[in-house]
Amino acid sequence: MSPVKVFGHPMLTNVARVMLFLEEVGAEYELVPIDFVAGEHKRSQHVQLNPFAKMPGFQDGDLVLFESRAIAKYILRKYGGTAGLDLLGENSGIEELAVVDMWTEVEAQQYYPAISPVVFECIIIPFIIPGGGATPNRSVVDESLERLRGVLGIYEARLEKSSYLAGDSISFADLNHIPFTFYFMTTPYAKVFDEYPKVKAWWEMLMARPAVQRVCKHMPTEFKLGAQY
């Protein structure tokens, strides 16, 4: 029995993020399903793992963690060595490490706020409203797409200089883009990426990774409005 347990549902982006790094490093883990439709994440057993009543919860022996980005870094530090990966850049110099940190923050602070409202409007809000009928707010979508184009333009310029965001090796920064971008690519606005050929090629390179494919197979690509999983 693996000491590593992930508590949550793999269709949730933050659960997918944690699973992705476990798969990348080839660590054994157990996925403990949490029925969030039934509100199981708000019950005391889960809140003991994650006081914010969010998913995932994470346990490795006696260590309990929450916040998917922090969990992911822990996984890379504890189990990443055997996979020969240096996704955090910690085996390089502090300047290389700073560049990985910088593009990791860009994902969190610039990319996520730009792309996520489209995913919320087109997928998450219709999904969580029982009975369906919710239609995306057009002005929210348009505003987000404009913002996203601004970010993708900066990515395009960056990816003209290096294969990945933080340089010519894949890093934590690139892989953090997977969960939300995966869902964005199921919306009618996926073609926005075609305007940025370097970004599109980078995305396809990320999606071709076996670990990414193993995680994404748990993430639905078709949603029935208001029909929960």
Two tokens, residue 137: 């707010």
Q: For residues 209 and 21, what is the distance between their CA atoms, to the nearest angstrom?
A: 12
Q: How many residues bind a copy of itself (CB under 8 A)?
A: 31
**Smallest distance, a copy of itself to C-beta of residue 222, A:** 29
**Smallest distance, a copy of itself to C-beta of residue 188, A:** 27
Contact predicate 29/22, CB 8 Å:
yes
CA nearest neighbour of 74 among 8, 22, 5: 22
Choice from 26, 43, 45, 108 touching a copy of itself (CB under 8 A): 108
- Show the binding pattern over residues 1-20: x = contacts a copy of itself (CB under 8 A), - = does not: --------------------
**Smallest distance, a copy of itself to C-beta of residue 183, A:** 18
- Show the binding pattern over residues 88-107: x = contacts a copy of itself (CB under 8 A), - = does not: ------xx-xxx-xx-xxx-
Residues 6+ away with beta carbon under 8 Å from 116 = 144, 180
Residue 198 as a binder of a copy of itself (CB under 8 A): the answer is no
Residue 140 as a binder of a copy of itself (CB under 8 A): the answer is no
**Smallest distance, a copy of itself to C-beta of residue 56, A:** 12
Nearer to a copy of itself, 162 or 186 (CB): 162
| H or E stretch at 64 | strand 63-65
Contact predicate 114/158, CB 8 Å:
no
- Near a copy of itself in 56-75, by CB under 8 A: 63, 65-71, 73-74
**Smallest distance, a copy of itself to C-beta of residue 12, A:** 14
Question: Does a cis peptide bond (omega within 30 degrees of 0) precede residue 56?
Answer: yes
**Smallest distance, a copy of itself to C-beta of residue 4, A:** 13
**Count of Cβ atoms closer than 10 Å to residue 170 Cβ:** 20
Name the maximum alpha-carbon separation found in the chain: 53
**Smallest distance, a copy of itself to C-beta of residue 103, A:** 8
> Is the Cα torsion angle 209, 110, 152, 146 positive or negative in sign?
positive
Nearer to a copy of itself, 153 or 188 (CB): 153
Q: For residues 120 and 16, what is the distance between their CA atoms, to the nearest angstrom?
A: 17
124 phi and psi angles, rounded to 5 deg: -70, -45
Q: Where do contacts with a copy of itself occur on this chain (CB under 8 A)? A: 51-52, 63, 65-71, 73-74, 77-78, 94-95, 97-99, 101-102, 104-106, 108-110, 151, 154, 157-158
